[in-house]
Structure 1
Amino acid sequence: MPAAIRTVSAAAAAGLGLSGASYFYYRKQAQPESKEKEIQELEYRDSRPFTLLDPTEIDTRLRSGQIATTVQQKYIKAIYTNRLPSNNPTEDNYSVNTLAGKLFAGVYDGHIGPDCSRLIRKQLPIYVGRELKKEIPKTTNQVQEAITTAFVDLDQDIQQRFYDLFPKNLSRVTEKDVQNATRQHAHPEVAEMHIKEAITGSCACSVYIDGDNVYAANTGDSRVVVVRQEENGTWTGRRLVEEQSPAHPAWRVHMISQHPSNEANNIVQRNRIFGLIAVGGSFGDIMYKVPREYQIKVLPFIPYEIYSTFARYHHRIVVNYRTPPYLQSKPLVSHYKLSKGDRYIILGTDGLWDELSWDNVRSENGDQVAANLMSAWPHKHERNPATHMIREALLYDAVYKNVGQRVPVSNETLEMSKRLTRTPSRRYRDDITVTVIELDMENETPAPKDLLDVGPVMPVEEAEVDQARLAKPPKASWLSGWIWSRL
């Protein structure tokens, strides 16, 4: 006897949702005929209200952030991006630039607020381009070292601008001294922005493409995957660089090894640093990087609007804080040689990968799922592959996290309505940002592509790498605040 599946009608479900009542999904699961076994009915209770959208409204919401970028570069047809907010304002950002004519693209997953990701969206291409321009790299290792240096320098400068606001000798600093650092600043709004950019945080995942050489760099838990079509017609997804996450066993061991053994049990709790932050590398997040004295002498007295973003759990940082920094921006970097069969490079913030492998976001299952989904493009109705990825990820399964279950989607309009309208949205999904680079390995100079219904189309912009650094580098160490506090 086949399994019977029953759902309430879309209209009825929406009515129930709007009234705040429960929405039920019932599944009858048939067991082999036996006197000892009977058909069991599983009930997944989902009491979260939602608004039923029509298909046109769903399309409008999904496509509102899509764009396409054109570039004249060997092996690259076009670059597509879409961003679907969950936070308000969205904390994700992205960039698509050229560095001396070579593509640099990145996605930036912010947290606590959007300020840090907005900053590195603009500055990271500049820092990478500046470093590559210093001495034209000739080897793969030199390119990787230049990218690594750029990531580290940018975060160093974000921190340095924060330290430069406050008195250097913390032994005699008072609450009023810290408050006056912004109140009496020549440009108080600029000083506050520098603090916000240091307090908020962001992951960064990027690719730099020079001919058939792809350099992937990752700080945090976003991901970049190359999608191939093999000669036998099958599709495969391969992660180009690993994630920096406390949930990743190897990275957790690495993080703990950077500190004395007596801290080992406190650094990572519930796959989070101090049980709080779920990334293992980031820009900003200065409360996990400052010298110990700043935790008590400075942070509680920065403008309250900013401090309130982490005040409720600041004590949990302080009680475990012994040998900072606990987060760094130094990325994991890899080199990949493009070859025949490579079709796409997908950059995605963790909001995408959570949807594709939510039971274990560190698993490689999501990489292959991404390849499977891209194998259906452009045969489905989305012309922008980044929008296609977001749509298909949200419809990959109906998720009932409250009972740890996911089941096939039986009503796409109903499921998408739930995914797009439940509030507060951040409780149910993250911001999702996806960039898809479409490749053509058969032609070194792909013909211009006719880009229709993909969102605004714009030519790629060259990053202005001749700009000065955000801050003057300290003479001794990027942890100059630690030195200054002891002067």
Structure 2
Amino acid sequence: MFSTVSCFFLHSVKKKTNYFQKQCRQYSRKLICKWRQVKPQHTVTARIFRDPENVVFQLRKDQRCSFTQEVFQCQLSPVQINTILRANELSVRIPEFDGRSLSSVLRFESNQLPANSPTEDRRSVATCMQTKGMMFGVFDGHAGFACAQAVSERLLYYIAMALMPQKNLVDIEFAVEHMKPVLPILQWYKHSNDYIYRESASLYIDQLRVFWQELIDSDNAEGLSKKDALSHAFKRLDSDISLEAQIPLNNDLMKNTAIQVAFAGSTACVAHVENANLHIANTGDCRAVLGVQNEDGSWSSLPLTNDHNALNEAEVLRVLSEHPMEEKDTVIVENRLLGLLMPFRAFGDVRFKWSKDLQKSILENGFDLESLNIQQYSPPNYHTPPYLKVEPEVTYHRLRPQDKFLILASDGLWDMLSNEEAVMLVAEHLTGIHANEPVSTSEKQVSLGEMHSLLIKRRTRTVPPYDTNVATHLIRHAIGTNEYKEIEQERLAAMVSLPDDLARMYRDDITVTVVYFSSELLRTL
């Protein structure tokens, strides 16, 4: 397993690996909360948080390990690298007219590269069949994949139901009640590797039915507005996840899944596109960035989400305002919620939402916590729950002809690339034109060495892209480029062949979906 990387590289992480294996058996599976990077190319440190009753191990990824000074001797060929990078590619062209309406979405391209085994990221894409529009979602799980999996399967259904007119909901209820066929609600676009919680399908349908029955009783003839539907769907699904972990279930497998989903967590970013109307609902630190082509042909990025973490001052103030002044020094510790959790909004994570008594009563109800990979502990300074919320921040943007594409991605991509870098990579992939900034020798003296480095950097940017799928193009550049923005095959080989217990020290799971818009249609709207 370790033969794919050089001895030099292994020695550089040997001490860290031994430490984690001794302290928490397999740190990649025993971590309570996800760990994040603020800036790349540094080192990983570990911290141990203790409360009076429990020891909680947490890997601190304040900074990532750097490959800049290391030499690799990887055995993977370019063909093998491409096979790994392209294993989860998905590319779909959307018909301009689907029999009901014109679509402003031309196509979308998506891909995933795991760091965890299995990956904790999920993605979803679907067309609304009983209303108009398409939905795209990226979900970043932590403390396991269970919550992200459940949310990726269920959230788009909740949104679709909340958007439906009352008449459609009544028709669905009548069909289910009388065991008649139900018209399709969503048309899914799935990869063959996408997994489904089949054992929980009946529970999920029952809960969804309760939701649409309540929507019928609300007597909203036209359905909710896009903003209200997105927000209501997020909150209702999180409430159902919490409820399912508390109610008695006859099926042990279903019961175990419900408890795993509730105690794991997931951030989520969902885009709803209908003609020129783009709504983004975001909870956590996935991100949606719009690629805009300016009149002069240059490109700019337009972020449509805010990260819900300690780097967001408004989010910090919100969290602090929801708890007594006596807790102002303990609610956020070292940029983490209660010193443990990086995102300040998420699905699941009932450990940060339920009371201590409720958590204890559920976890002591005969579950095999070790086999479920759930640790029984209380976060430190846990006095006034809930500390975590799921309510999304919903933004609206009216699409213009210059809005060419939308990048939805988990934070694994944004750890490695800035908004501007990601937009430029997609723009260059789309147009085949590589933008270079002009060099002005009048502003500063450029040495021969600096000019040589600049020319090398510019030469590498003129190389045609390796990948037809733009999501793969982004992932390749995120993990495989050097300081000159040049793809290094040895570096790339090392990054995709890292053993499971080391990969997470150098990168996160990465999920990317890029949505291309029809400028011609947008000009007519």
TM-score (ref. length: structure 2): 0.66
The equivalent position to 1:154 in structure 2, one of 233, 237, 258, is 237
Using the TM superposition, give the Cα deviation of residue 296 of structure 1 relative to its aligned residue in structure 2, in angstroms.
3.6
Distance verdict in 2 for CA 1:261–1:45, change over 3 Å: same
8 A Cα contact 1:237 1:368, kept in partner: yes
Tell me how many residue pairs correspond in the alignment: 374
2:92 pairs with 1:69: yes
Distance verdict in 2 for CA 1:139–1:255, change over 3 Å: farther
Distance verdict in 2 for CA 1:14–1:252, change over 3 Å: same
Deviations 1:163-220 (A, max 9, x none): 213xxxxxxxxxxxxxxxxxxx521111111101111111110100111000001011
| Letter of the 1:85 counterpart | P
Deviations 1:329-351 (A, max 9, x none): 11000000100211110100000
Using the TM superposition, give the Cα deviation of residue 294 of structure 1 relative to its aligned residue in structure 2, in angstroms.
2.1
* Aligned residue number for residue 320 of structure 1: 381
The equivalent position to 1:129 in structure 2, one of 160, 177, 185, is 160
8 A Cα contact 2:138 2:409, kept in partner: yes
RMSD (Å), alpha carbons = 2.9
Using the TM superposition, give the Cα deviation of residue 22 of structure 1 relative to its aligned residue in structure 2, in angstroms.
6.0
Question: Aligned partners of 1:415 and 1:368: how far apart in 2?
Answer: 23
Of 84-93 and 238-247, the range deviating more from structure 2: 238-247
Question: Aligned partners of 1:239 and 1:376: how far apart in 2?
Answer: 19
The answer for unaligned runs of 5 or more in structure 2 is 14-65, 96-101, 168-219, 433-464
Residue 369 of structure 1 aligns to a residue whose secondary structure is helix
2:390 pairs with 1:329: yes
8 A Cα contact 1:247 1:272, kept in partner: no
Question: Aligned partners of 2:222 and 2:290: how far apart in 1?
Answer: 22
Question: Aligned partners of 2:122 and 2:307: how far apart in 1?
Answer: 18
* Aligned residue number for residue 112 of structure 1: 143
Residue 163 of structure 1 aligns to a residue whose secondary structure is coil
* Aligned residue number for residue 297 of structure 2: 233
Distance verdict in 2 for CA 1:144–1:46, change over 3 Å: same
Distance verdict in 2 for CA 1:323–1:68, change over 3 Å: same
2:402 pairs with 1:338: no
* Aligned residue number for residue 466 of structure 1: none
* Aligned residue number for residue 408 of structure 2: 347
* Aligned residue number for residue 246 of structure 2: 163
The equivalent position to 1:83 in structure 2, one of 102, 108, 112, is 112
The equivalent position to 1:144 in structure 2, one of 227, 230, 238, is 227
Question: Aligned partners of 2:322 and 2:141: how far apart in 1?
Answer: 25
| Letter of the 2:285 counterpart | D
Of 255-264 and 146-155, the range deviating more from structure 2: 255-264
The answer for unaligned runs of 5 or more in structure 1 is 1-12, 24-42, 166-184, 357-365, 398-406, 447-487
Runs of 4 or more consecutive aligned structure 1 residues displaced over 6 Å after TM superposition: 47-50, 136-141
Using the TM superposition, give the Cα deviation of residue 53 of structure 1 relative to its aligned residue in structure 2, in angstroms.
2.1
2:352 pairs with 1:276: no
2:504 pairs with 1:429: no
Deviations 1:231-289 (A, max 9, x none): 10110111112121133221111111111111111111111111111111111111111
Greater RCO, CA 8 A, separation 6+:
1
8 A Cα contact 1:51 1:422, kept in partner: no
Question: Aligned partners of 2:229 and 2:337: how far apart in 1?
Answer: 28
8 A Cα contact 2:165 2:223, kept in partner: no
8 A Cα contact 2:401 2:522, kept in partner: no
Residue 375 of structure 1 aligns to a residue whose secondary structure is helix
1:350-389 → structure 2 map (5 Å cutoff): 350-356=411-417, 366-378=418-430, 379=432, 380-389=465-474
8 A Cα contact 1:344 1:439, kept in partner: yes
Using the TM superposition, give the Cα deviation of residue 70 of structure 1 relative to its aligned residue in structure 2, in angstroms.
3.1
8 A Cα contact 2:136 2:270, kept in partner: yes
8 A Cα contact 1:75 1:445, kept in partner: no
8 A Cα contact 1:53 1:413, kept in partner: no
Deviations 1:311-334 (A, max 9, x none): 4xx34x0x3111111111110000
2:477 pairs with 1:392: yes
TM-score (ref. length: structure 1): 0.71
Question: Aligned partners of 2:386 and 2:71: how far apart in 1?
Answer: 40
8 A Cα contact 2:115 2:507, kept in partner: yes
Distance verdict in 2 for CA 1:395–1:49, change over 3 Å: closer
* Aligned residue number for residue 275 of structure 2: 211
2:512 pairs with 1:420: no
Question: Aligned partners of 1:396 and 1:334: how far apart in 2?
Answer: 33
| Letter of the 1:283 counterpart | F
8 A Cα contact 1:102 1:209, kept in partner: yes
Question: Aligned partners of 1:91 and 1:105: how far apart in 2?
Answer: 18
Distance verdict in 2 for CA 1:104–1:437, change over 3 Å: same
| Letter of the 1:330 counterpart | E
Distance verdict in 2 for CA 1:138–1:71, change over 3 Å: farther
Residue 304 of structure 1 aligns to a residue whose secondary structure is coil
